[in-house]
Amino acid sequence: MESNPALPPPNDLAATWAFLESGISQIMNRLEEGLSYKRYMDLYTGIYNYCTSSRMNPGFTSEPLAGPGSNLNNNR
């Protein structure tokens, strides 16, 4: 049974890369060894968590964007 490292914090690039590096190496260079479903999903989840972390979007706000003409209804 293979030992899988714990998932890295979602906003830590260095930890995420270290976590992914061995999995990517296995896929690219040693695929004949196989890749368990759990290992595949851990790699996928590590990438997903990093890409969707709020640190990636520091200016994100839940307020709607104000585009051209957005102030037309404010004069009532």
Residue 1 pLDDT exceeds 50? no
Is 0.75 topped by the overall pTM?
no
Domain with 47 in it: 9-56
Residue 11 pLDDT exceeds 60? yes
Task: Identify whether 62 is part of a domain.
Answer: no
Could you give the number of structural domains in the chain? Answer: 1
Nearest to 12 by CA among 50, 57, 60, 52: 50
Task: Identify whether 71 is part of a domain.
Answer: no
37 is written with which tokens?
């479903």
Task: Identify whether 41 is part of a domain.
Answer: yes
Task: Identify whether 69 is part of a domain.
Answer: no
Rounded CA separation 21/19 (Å): 6
Residue 46 pLDDT exceeds 90? yes
Task: Identify whether 20 is part of a domain.
Answer: yes
Nearest to 36 by CA among 50, 26, 51: 26
Task: Identify whether 64 is part of a domain.
Answer: no
Instruction: Specify the pLDDT at position 21.
Output: 94
Nearest to 40 by CA among 17, 16, 24, 55: 24
A 10 A CB-CB count for 12 gives 14
